[in-house]
Structure 1
Amino acid sequence: MTQHQYAAAAAPTIAHDRHRELFEDLMGAVASGFPRRETRSTFRQLAEGLLMELENVNCWTLAEAIGHSGPHRLQHLLSRASWDDEAVLDAAAAWAVAALDDGDAVLIADETGDAKSSTDAVGAAHQYSGSLGGIGLCQVAVHLTYATSRGHTIVDRVHYLGRQWAADEERREHTGVPEELMFATKTAQAQAMLEKAHAAGVRASFFAGDEVYGAKALRTTCRRLGLGYAVAVRSSHHLTLPSGARLSAAKAKALVPKGAWQRMRTGTGSKGARDYDWAMLDVHPDDTPADHAEGGVSVLLARRHRYTGTVSYYRCWSPIPASLARLVGIVCLRWKIEEDFQAAKNTVGLDKGQVTTWTSWHRWSTAALVAYAFLAVATALEAGEPTPAGLELVPLSSFELLRLLRLLILPTPRRDAGHVLRWSAWRRRHQHRARACHQRWHAYADSTP
């Protein structure tokens, strides 16, 4: 490949100002959430800073990179400033949905955990998190992704408080958890996000989720909102066949004729194609809303690993008959939210916020998700660009696009000598004061009987 061909391949990405205009459009879409121009300007700087290439991401490093003399403006934005973070996130979500909508969207719910070193952070507790690979000290939040053939991005999130945290009045008061907020299961939180999205005009064809989100109440909500669904269920999940027999999913699978299994490709990974054997069995729906008539098609979908024989199960419902290929495609789309988690954490610091209170956590996550919405939509737009003739290229990933944006479009971190030296002095002075305070406290504690 010649240097000229390399330049031709990069040209569709870097030869225009569309990305600058896209970012300005997003900032205009969320502007109504800020009553003051100064707050709106600081948020814009924060969003740009989250897209910069920084070794660490927190208020100190971001403030230094965007040219502030200290972290106080960003800390004020996250903790005390007057602005509506929920309205800002909703506006960014509406902006992203308008750009990605192809008329056949899928909404996907899942939770992710952020490791913490102390239980002082709101919601931090020893709890299970798939991102940690087990039980660990972390915060957990349930997220909602909007996925289409054009792209996907996270459009909502809800902080999860475990039962003990929700019942601890002292810790609630210390971290600013609203009094009206009660304990809610992850299923209930996903249900609330679906209802909120529907009320906001977000339309989708299906909902997808793992076993956590296969509860009857959530499936009933999907049907009430006009959503089909494809949710994972356990092998012990009980269902009713059209004959009236009630069996577990594992036992119902035995009724599938051997010839009914079909091998289908579910994607291509770094190690080659991923093929599984799939089958579906008609079942009687148990989640028809009280004010709705019976209708649609309810099936149990089974996926069998072609080498190990391990079987996974999915409860599916569609308002109109859906082919096996269609349902398999919905199930496979569930992994888009995992891609969003990985990308949002590695590109815009979704899990890097060193914040402890309820308000600060929501405002940091809002800023990160607004920045990620820009990146997701920009990546989707680039995917629609034609590939130069004669070149074979993989689709432009969000990571590669961000690398180009950092070099060519986004403002660079401020690194002039005077600014860097002032920040070095500020950090050392702050650390000196912190150490002196700790020493005085320990001296007092040691002398008190």
Structure 2
Amino acid sequence: MTTIKDQVAVEATIAERAWTAAFGSLMAAVAVCFPRRDSRMLGRAMTQGMLMELERRNCWTLAQALGRDGPYRLQHFLSRGAWNHDLARDHLAAWTAGELADDEAVLVVDETGDEKSSTDCVGASHQYSGALGGVGLCQVAVHLTYASVHGHALIDRQLYLPAAWAEDEERRLLRHVPDEITFATKPQLAAAMLHRARELGLAARWFTGDEVYGGLELRRTARTLGFDYALAVKADHRATTAVGRFAATQLAAKIPARAWMRLRTGNGTKGDRHYDWALIDVLPDDTPAGQDAATAGHAFLVVRRHRYTRELSFYRCHSAAPVSLTTLVNIICTRWKIEEDFQGAKGLAGLDQGQVTGWTSWMRWSLISLFAAAILAVTYARTRTADGAGHGLELAPASGRELLAILRITALPQPRRDRDHILHWSAWRRHHQHQATEAHRRWNNITAAAAT
């Protein structure tokens, strides 16, 4: 008779094999991006290190966990090492989409902020971030998730440079921002990632995002690239119907009571979540040049209503083929997958912990974190497929965090923690902290003398 412990042991074996296969597969896919063996091996080690059980992840803690005498090799790897992180990004996207492939897959875009203590970090500025819950000193980056019935993972990212930051030549030089990088809005960054996804031939049909990405230009770009979309828009968004042009709230007020449909949109700890939904046919306003608007597909405004508060949300949608309200609701709800990916990449793979300040270092740290998160996502998908849910035991599915806890004792290398190594790093840290303190004291004395 199979017990709960036996089942967990079986799942642990499956997870270990799935991790080993996924890790080897991705590292083989990106190997061409590392021209030297030492950089290729360091990339492998850092990817594993991102998922080790550490209180904090940065070059110091990773170097210590990986058994190195100092962080210099890792710092060089991130800032000046000879490897192509843009090509590696493309290989990561192609590999992830291949592992989770689905012709009906959804590309989800959203931004997230990482709090910073200084404007010395590339792109750091006082700006709004939903992750911070308001305006704060942070970096903001736009990310793209690939989501299918098999799983989901982040596959691309673009660092957002506020206009004042992007125009500051001194800060650009100090942080080694390439000359070709100029100010771009968040929708423009999303459009660049959509172009890359199409050029890579990723199997995906849909594109979705929140209100930031519901503007006309990005919707037109999506259609030009052949993506159907379901994008949130603001309440004052105006749409044209067969009888005139109205604001979204005006159209919602005209919906008959019988036209609303209650649909389940997910489940939480308190049970299933339900909302009321309605579908309104509208005329497309984003037809690309050269296409006939009359034969270019189907445009809709989808309205969501909270069951109790009656709060309304609006979504502009377009599909080349006829599509049901249920399908559109599923696409709209897929948008929340990227929030799960942010939580996983930050909480499990150190996406927001890098303490890097330069452009190249940020690009490479975020990419290594995405490597780790993508391998974990694919491992999770393979494990879930292999073990199924037919064991009949009172056992909840393992979460990503639970899966990682198992992998840390079965597949991932253990952080080095022997006595001599710990003492070496204690001495190293204290010495460098002393040097930093003395440097600050000397600088303060110089500036105080100059002021008098």
Q: Which TM class, normalised by the smaller chain length?
A: over 0.9
Kindly report which structure 2 residues correspond to 1:7-406, keeping only aligned pairs within 5 A, or say none.
7-14=6-13, 17-243=17-243, 245-294=244-293, 295-385=296-386, 386-387=388-389, 389-406=391-408
The one-letter code sitting in structure 1 at the alignment partner of 2:446 is Y
Measure, in 1, the Cα distance between the counterparts of 2:38 and 2:397. 39
**Aligned 8 A contact 1:66 1:413 in 2:** yes
Measure, in 2, the Cα distance between the counterparts of 1:410 and 1:389. 27
Measure, in 2, the Cα distance between the counterparts of 1:388 and 1:266. 25
Measure, in 1, the Cα distance between the counterparts of 2:418 and 2:438. 31
CA RMSD of aligned residues (A): 1.3
Measure, in 2, the Cα distance between the counterparts of 1:180 and 1:164. 16
Offset from partner CA, 1:263-317 (integer Å, 9 cap, x none) = 1110111111111110011000000001222221101100000100101000011
Residues 290 and 391 of structure 1: is their aligned pair in 2 closer, same or farther, counting only changes over 3 Å? Answer: same
TM-score of the aligned structures, taking structure 1 as reference length = 0.97
| Alignment of 1:425 onto 2:427 | yes
Deviation at 1:185, TM superposition (A): 0.5
Measure, in 2, the Cα distance between the counterparts of 1:138 and 1:269. 30
Offset from partner CA, 1:102-129 (integer Å, 9 cap, x none) = 2210001000000001111111011110
Offset from partner CA, 1:351-372 (integer Å, 9 cap, x none) = 0110111111101001100111
Measure, in 2, the Cα distance between the counterparts of 1:4 and 1:266. 34
The one-letter code sitting in structure 2 at the alignment partner of 1:71 is P
Measure, in 1, the Cα distance between the counterparts of 2:394 and 2:221. 45
**Aligned 8 A contact 1:8 1:388 in 2:** no
Measure, in 2, the Cα distance between the counterparts of 1:273 and 1:350. 31
Which deviates more, 13-22 or 381-390? Answer: 13-22
Measure, in 2, the Cα distance between the counterparts of 1:443 and 1:235. 56
The one-letter code sitting in structure 2 at the alignment partner of 1:318 is S
Measure, in 2, the Cα distance between the counterparts of 1:179 and 1:35. 25
Give the secondary structure class of the aligned counterpart of 1:51. Answer: coil
Offset from partner CA, 1:1-34 (integer Å, 9 cap, x none) = x994312233033256332232111111111111
Measure, in 2, the Cα distance between the counterparts of 1:26 and 1:153. 14
Measure, in 1, the Cα distance between the counterparts of 2:443 and 2:390. 66
Moved over 6 A (4+): none
**Aligned 8 A contact 1:176 1:357 in 2:** yes
The one-letter code sitting in structure 2 at the alignment partner of 1:101 is A
Identity between Structure 1 and Structure 2 (%): 53
Which deviates more, 139-148 or 21-30? Answer: 21-30
Deviation at 1:438, TM superposition (A): 2.0
Give the secondary structure class of the aligned counterpart of 1:300. Answer: strand
The one-letter code sitting in structure 2 at the alignment partner of 1:275 is H
Deviation at 1:396, TM superposition (A): 2.3
Give the secondary structure class of the aligned counterpart of 1:17. Answer: helix
Q: 2:441 aligns with which of 435, 439, 442?
A: 439
Offset from partner CA, 1:234-268 (integer Å, 9 cap, x none) = 1100110023x111000011222110001111011
Measure, in 2, the Cα distance between the counterparts of 1:18 and 1:187. 36
Unaligned runs of 5+ in 2: none
Residues 5 and 316 of structure 1: is their aligned pair in 2 closer, same or farther, counting only changes over 3 Å? Answer: same
The one-letter code sitting in structure 2 at the alignment partner of 1:264 is L
Kindly report which structure 2 residues correspond to 1:406-425, keeping only aligned pairs within 5 A, or say none.
406-425=408-427
Give the secondary structure class of the aligned counterpart of 1:142. Answer: strand
**Aligned 8 A contact 2:63 2:74 in 1:** yes
Measure, in 2, the Cα distance between the counterparts of 1:266 and 1:375. 26
Give the secondary structure class of the aligned counterpart of 2:264. Answer: strand
Measure, in 2, the Cα distance between the counterparts of 1:336 and 1:47. 23
Offset from partner CA, 1:388-425 (integer Å, 9 cap, x none) = 52214333221111110001110000001111111111
Measure, in 2, the Cα distance between the counterparts of 1:288 and 1:37. 49
TM-score of the aligned structures, taking structure 2 as reference length = 0.96
How many residues are treated as equivalent by the alignment? Answer: 447
**Aligned 8 A contact 1:116 1:124 in 2:** yes
Which deviates more, 382-391 or 216-225? Answer: 382-391
